[in-house]
Structure 1
Amino acid sequence: MRVFRAFFLLLVLANLGFFAWTKGYLGGQESGREPQRLASQIVPEKLRIVAAAPVVTAPAAPSPAWLACRVVTGLPLAEVEAFKAELVGFNVEVKPAEGTTSYWVHIPPQASKAAADKKAAELRALGIKDFYIMQDEGPSLNAISLGLFKNEAAAGELLQNMIKRGVRSARIEVRQTPARHTRVLVKGPSELLDRRLPGLVAKMPGAATTECP
Structure 2
Amino acid sequence: MLKFVFWALLAANAALFAYGQGYLGKVQGGEREPQRLKNQLAPGRMVMLSAAEARAAAEVPAAAPAQAAPPAEPAPPAQAPVVQTIACTQAGAFAAGDARRFETRIARLGLGERVSRTSVPFQEVTSHLVYLPPSGGKEGADRRVAELKDQGVENFFVMQGDSPLRWAVSLGVFKTESAAQGLATALAKRGVRGVRVLPRGPQGTRAAWRLRDLTPEERSRVARIADDFSGVQLSQCK
Per the shorter chain, which TM-score range? 0.3 to 0.5
TM-score normalised by L of structure 1: 0.36
TM-score normalised by L of structure 2: 0.33
